[in-house]
Amino acid sequence: MRRFGLIGLLCVLGCEPDPSFCEDVPTLTWENFGEDFMQHNCQTCHSSTTANRHGAPGEVVFDSHEAVRSRRDEILAQISGPESQMPPSGGLDDDERWRAEVWLECFE
């Protein structure tokens, strides 16, 4: 079941994942997963109200569901795969990273 990192990476590269994959995953929404995930793992640097963005580009802001949705592929590219770069502190365990990939790939 935890094969999603590769699928997320393939989608970022323009390939299509197996459409049946999303049939066997938990339903993760902005309300039950995404908002809390973004607040705890991304908005430290990617919020419009953050004083010290730690070098995060000013135009990359995740204050709303719509803002996250518009950068979905970029977020997947940054959190997926063995060489994931975000969050830079490496704060995601395998389960949380997998759930974030499922949320972004299947429900956004």
Tokens 């997926």 -> residue: 80
pLDDT at 46: 93
Identify the DSSP state of 22. G
pLDDT at 14: 53
pLDDT at 27: 93
pLDDT at 79: 86
- Per-10-residue mean pLDDT of the chain, 108 residues long, equals 44 56 88 94 91 90 94 89 76 87 86
For the chain, the domain total comes to 1
The number of angstroms, rounded, from the C-alpha of 18 to the middle of its chain's C-alpha atoms is 19
Q: Which residues span the domain enclosing 32?
A: 4-106
The tokens of 25 are what?
Answer: 């995953």
pTM attached to this predicted model: 0.77
